[in-house]
Amino acid sequence: MNVKEELHKLSDKLDKFRRKLAAATERGDQAVMKQFNREIAATTKKITSLKNQQTRTLSKAGGDVRSLAFNRVLTKAEQADMGKLKKSVKGLVVVHPMTALGRSMGVTQVTGFAPKEF
């Protein structure tokens, strides 16, 4: 299971625990409230850990892409025929600003990164 799916599952679990905690609070059931408080704390800790792992992975990927020797913004014509461009430029990595990698790198336009000028 990838990190994104696991984060989603844990978030769903956390919501379920919070709803059950609210119900236990209404009933005044102290034992169940303590149990769900522990569960919420553990799940929150796991979520924080996974988010940090995801951030580290994106930072590493962004660093790898930024280390390529050449980069420039792609024109609309190049974006329209991406297959042709990728075949003509070996090692080309295209970063879109709306992807997680693009947001973490701070890219504002579709940018191509390559080992040599293209």
Question: What letter would DSSP give residue 1?
Answer: -
Do 46 and 96 fall into the same domain? no
Q: Give the pLDDT confidence of 11-64 residue by residue, as tens digits.
A: 999 999 999 999 999 999 999 999 999 999 999 999 999 999 999 999 999 989
H or E element at residue 12:
helix 3-27
Check: CB of residue 113 under 8 Å from CB of residue 71.
Answer: yes
- 58 and 88 share one domain: no
* Residue 84 banded pLDDT, cuts 50, 70, 90: very high
**Among 54, 70, 78, residue whose Cα is nearest residue 6:** 54
- The proportion of the chain whose per-residue pLDDT surpasses 70, expressed as a percent, equals 99
Best CA proximity match to 78, nearest among 37, 111, 115: 111
Instruction: Choose one of 63, 81, 103: the last residue of a domain.
Output: 63
Print the domain residue range for 102.
68-118
Q: Mean pLDDT for the chain?
A: 93
